[in-house]
Structure 1
């Protein structure tokens, strides 16, 4: 049993998005990371760079290129920097830093070789550890961690060492920081301890990390997105968003005893100390597509001016020093603005919804329109995802976009196979008999044509071949058919190009309709334009109606008015055709061309509907066979005739002569028409009529109507 088209459309509308959504969800884990990165780019495109909280709750002390170049660090092995680093740490502790994290792992020390060399540094570590404001770093490598020098851990306290490991996604990009990591406890069992960023934020907030039995995690009243799962970092992307201080400048500042500077810039803030070099410890992070040139918007210096030629103007890199990922995470934890990811169920629902919308757009319109609609849908989805991301929520952006893109070829392919098969069958069955627009209506409704009609205001064009009998004499039937088919093809193309359709071919005649099945702006103007184009084709193409016996020509009549149009006939056999007095009048006007020697003749109603009287020459007023009411007849003028000054003079003279005729001044009319008769069939015909009446007086009821006796 064949399912109804509407049912198949519903099934198709469900199948295509289902397949597209499943395909997108199958690779969703691989797309999630790039989706986050893309949302950074979209957010910045719509809202500009995201600034850090003002003031920033976290700052970075960078071991930068300037530190390596300035004394007392320049030329000194880094293993001997401990006392100088201790000087800066002590100044920051004195200045009221809330917590300091060292993103540095020094597994060895010269203290074993030069006893007492790092005494002050060790005392500073001890002080910071006892205050709970200093956290040393370790790195988990395989099964055993890389730990700081044992003397440093003893000084700071073994409970003040945390892992600086970051979470690397499958594509090698660092987008998350671990909330907790497994570490060996004092009794040798594995325990969960906070990562470096969480620990520094906890110390700065003076609030411990709280892990709930339901897997939730909270810090200072802030419920972390994702619970104890790795935290998705929300980077501030403005240039210099996280204030960065050069270790060299801070050392000189501390040596100069400028304690006020440290109090102003570090009091109450979390501090991360780490390397910020061009080549060392640089990471790809989720803000990789919106990074800014380095060295911009630096905070106020203390003792040393910024060293020149350290930064290339305008240069951006897709990697950032790892210390900034920790610093951004600390800022998120202290400001409560980390990124949250949509749950799996909600994400899947969004992907399915976008796929369904894409299928709806694809099935509701032709492919080019559907493609434009899908682009608009993707643009709207991009805007929504970027706005939601601005609020801290990550939607499955690329997954839903991929499903929307995939549904387009899937729906088109299925539509072509399942639905368009019937449409093609209907179109192929009726295209030779019905107008294309009517076939489109049938396909849209899913119904075959049925009997019925309506009266509409139309313009009817009737075209016949003059001299057909002479032209066809002596021609073989095959050759005659070839000539006629060539002629009909050319005339039909012109008619359809002007918005009309060919109702039927009647022997050597063509009956065309303008204004149905679909209304057009000005069907009379379209019909007249088509007629003039048909005449130009006859003049320009000498092969039309050419035969060994001589070349035929065409005559055209156009009438405008009400006509009955629709499917006329019996339930078993009918035609979409036009009937009525307007059709008959068009046929009579075509025949009237013979009397006036014209090629195209239109009714007064056609001239009025056309809207430009200057585009016509009034020929006469006639009464055609089979019609009681007289009709004014006009000849449409080509652009060339209207533009020719000599032709305009002749047209004016003809109008004056016609005025004499209609006023009953027959002698004057005959004389005026006679001056125009050479080369003008209409003037010659009117001269003959006026000449027969010359010397007579017009009847009191004279109207100037010419009764035509021939069809």
Structure 2
């Protein structure tokens, strides 16, 4: 269905309204954009798993929180952690970062336990636990001579040897704090805490010179699950080749535990993998960049304009297909760019085309209904209701303003009417015409035609049909038959006694202009053009050729499957240079 197109001013208003609503939406519900961001991360990881491969320069040595700490707590693993640090340093690691905090001194813990068991007055035996503490501290001091050691802390939670780190040759305390977005999901890595204390990623970059730390950046989580991970036990058992550590950034921390799980776009992951993914993002250069705000705004404006343009000029169904295709195209382009590190906004941009359609089409529908009502009021005196509906199912506004369509014009004239009008009183003549035209109008309307106007003793009607003039022939034959019937039954005796009425009908098919024509004081919906003129000219030769109905070659060509015709030759008519082939319809064949 075609519905009313909107003016340029309303076009602009709808575009501005859509743009404003979407901007307010994005400002009010920012978390929706982040939800769509996470969805794209997961989708990109599935569709392009090799599109963001890690550099391989980061290795995670993971202490299994379920397996290793099941038998004994972390405090009793200090010697093994020390051995892990020494081995990684000996194998040529570029840097070692501890994403765990040994905040308990084993010596102090055991001393407190022994005092509690023996009583406060009893001294503890020997240096219980000092050897274990010393093994870890010694490993840190010796390894830091040639390898940068980055020890994590979290606010006030610091390792028990924190005060000694100043005496370690190449050891640096780094913050393990992380910053979540407003919706509680971890997506960004920041270089420092609010007090400017460096965080782990920035500390590693500064210590190794392998990457340039950024103040804040989006982590490319597509590399997260591909980072090289070595089991803590396997590493201690020397089941990992030494060359795998050479020149690598080694992160040591807990994996598979519940304490350090953080929400990421890919779901819950241990914090150590977040740090590893952040380092790989910088090392590979596979950064994730948000599009500039001006570009996002321009894209939103363009989508709103496109949505209003399509919605204001096309019928709903084709427009819906176009808008869905355009939305899908934007989504595909958005994902393609996302896989390559550029983040275009998804919300509200994906909703822009649909919103504009939701705003425009109700207005167009209401405007169309208003135009239909005007047309019904205009046509109601001249045409059957079913014909009105057929006329306005297309574009009511265009029909009112003027439109060219293919029509069959029926021109009817009552022959020798001058003699009738001179022979009878005016009121009798008027009554006769009203009687005849009522019959003729009813027939025309019953065959789907439109009685456009009465011209003295004549009638102009037309039939809208892109292909077949058959309804106009049916109407002409029915008028001819009813006139014969009235003459035979002396139905007109009350008006003109026994005097018969004779008519002539001309039919021509072709393009004509339909529209409201007139002045500001009086307007008439009418049909004009050469097609109308030729129908009247053909009617004017019916008496000369001895036929009641004459049709042109255009009518004959399109209706010969339904009617039998008699060819009467070519005639010259006023106003047309070429001779016109005319045919007299005989009877319906189908």
- TM normalised by structure 1 equals 0.57
- Could you list the per-position Cα deviations for residues 190-247 of structure 1 after superposition, in whole angstroms to 9, with x for gaps in the alignment? x51221122123333357xxxxxxxxxx54xxxx3xxx2x321112258x42122222
Checking the alignment, whether the CA contact within 8 Å between 2:148 and 2:170 is kept in structure 1 is no
Alignment of 1:114-513 (within 5 A): 114-140=129-155, 145-150=156-161, 154=165, 160-182=172-194, 191-205=195-209, 218-219=212-213, 224=214, 228=215, 230-236=216-222, 240-253=225-238, 261-263=241-243, 265-277=244-256, 279-286=258-265, 288=266, 318-412=267-361, 423=371, 427=375, 430=378, 432=380, 435-436=391-392, 439-441=396-398, 448=401, 458-460=407-409, 491-492=447-448, 503=452, 511-513=461-463
482 and 582 in structure 1: CA distance in 2 versus 1, 3 angstrom threshold: closer
Could you tell me whether the CA contact under 8 Å between 1:20 and 1:406 is conserved in 2?
no
Paired with 1:347 and 1:569, the residues of 2 have a C-alpha distance of: 49
Q: What is the CA-CA distance between 1:329 and the residue it aligns to?
A: 0.4
1:483-524 deviation per Cα after TM superposition (whole angstroms, max 9, x unaligned) = 9999877643xx7xxxxx6657999x9944245xxxx3xx2x
Cα distance in 1 for partners of 2:583, 2:562 equals 15
Confirm or deny: 8 A CA contact 2:470 2:562 kept in the other structure: no
Structure-2 separation of matches of 1:385 and 1:132: 43
Q: Deviation of residue 404 (structure 1)?
A: 4.6
Distance 1:180 1:94 in 2: 30
Report the Cα offset of residue 341 of structure 1: 2.2
1:169 match: secondary structure: coil
Is 1:62–2:58 an aligned residue pair?
Answer: no
Distance 1:53 1:231, change over 3 A: same
- Contact 1:201–1:270 (Cα < 8 Å) also in 2: no
The answer (yes or no) to whether the contact 1:563–1:581 under 8 Å persists in 2 is no
Change (3 A) 1:231 1:86: same
The partner residue of 1:97 within 69, 85, 93 is 93
Q: 1:416 to 1:564 in 2, by over 3 A?
A: closer
- 2:106 paired with 1:110: yes
Contact 2:54–2:227 (CA under 8 A) maintained in structure 1: no
Q: Quick one: distance in 2 between partners of 1:35 and 1:118?
A: 48
Taking the aligned partners of 1:250 and 1:405, their CA distance within structure 2 comes to 56
Give the structure 2 partner of residue 691 of structure 1: none
1:17 corresponds in structure 2 to 18
Q: In the alignment, is the contact (CA less than 8 A) between 2:179 and 2:186 conserved in 1?
A: yes
Q: CA deviation at 1:331?
A: 0.5
* Cα distance, 1:558 vs structure 2: 9.6
Residues of 2 paired with 1:242 and 1:564: CA distance? Answer: 75
Number of equivalent positions: 495
Q: Contact 1:102–1:136 (CA<8 Å) still a contact in 2?
A: yes
Q: Distance in 1 between matches of 2:104 and 2:37?
A: 39
Structure 1: runs of 5 or more not aligned: 183-190, 208-217, 289-317, 464-480, 496-500, 536-548, 550-556, 639-711
Cα offset for 1:173? 0.6
Separation in 1 of the partners of 2:160 and 2:475?
97
Is the CA contact 2:97–2:250 (under 8 Å) kept in the aligned structure 1?
yes
The C-alpha deviation readout for 1:357-378, integer Å capped at 9, x for no partner, is 3333333334444444433332
Q: Distance in 1 between matches of 2:73 and 2:511?
A: 103
Q: 1:150 to 1:482 in 2, by over 3 A?
A: farther
CA distance in 2, matches of 1:63, 1:616: 91
Distance 1:87 1:370 in 2: 69
SS at 2:132's partner residue? coil
Kept after mapping to 2: 8 A contact 1:617/1:636: yes
Once the two structures are superposed, residues 83-130 of structure 1 have per-residue CA deviations (whole angstroms, 9 ceiling, x without a partner) of: 223223322222222122222123213243322134433322223333
The answer to whether the 8 A contact 2:14-2:356 is kept is no
Q: Specify the alignment match of 2:3 in structure 1.
A: none
2:289 & 2:70 partners in 1: Cα distance? 44
Contact 1:342–1:393 (Cα < 8 Å) also in 2: yes
Distance across 2 between alignment mates of 1:529 and 1:588: 22
| Distance of 2:261 and 2:474 partners within structure 1 | 76
Contact preservation (8 Å) 2:52, 2:286: no
Q: Is the 8 A contact 2:411 2:535 kept in 1?
A: no
2:31 aligns to what? 30
Segment of structure 1 superposing worse, 192-201 or 124-133: 124-133
Contact 2:191 2:199 in 1 (8 A): yes
Q: Which has the higher contact order (CA 8 A, sep 6+)?
A: 2
Comparing 431-440 and 120-129, the one that deviates more: 431-440
- Partners of 1:563 and 1:582 within 8 A in 2: no
Instruction: Give CA-to-partner distance per residue, 1:536-579, whole Å, 9 cap, x none.
Output: xxxxxxxxxxxxx9xxxxxxx99554576556986434441363
Q: Distance in 2 between matches of 1:563 and 1:416?
A: 29
Alignment partner of 1:177: what SS?
A: strand
CA distance in 2: counterparts of 1:13 and 1:580, whole angstroms? 45
- In structure 1, the partner of 2:501 is none
After alignment, is 339-348 or 97-106 more displaced?
A: 339-348
CA distance in 2, matches of 1:123, 1:486: 112
Secondary structure of residue in 2 paired with 1:397: coil
CA distance in 2 between partners of 1:602 and 1:629 (Å): 8
Q: 1:532 to 1:139 in 2, by over 3 A?
A: farther
Moved more, 564-573 or 168-177: 564-573
SS in 1 for 2:202: helix
Question: 1:127/1:53 Cα in 2 relative to 1: closer, same or farther (>3 Å)?
Answer: farther
Is residue 282–residue 321 contact of structure 1 (8 Å, CA) maintained in 2? yes
Q: Distance in 2 between matches of 1:528 and 1:324?
A: 80
Determine helix, strand or coil for the equivalent of 1:360.
helix
CA distance in 1, matches of 2:365, 2:258: 56
Distance 1:617 1:420, change over 3 A: closer
The alpha carbon displacement at 1:355 in A equals 3.0
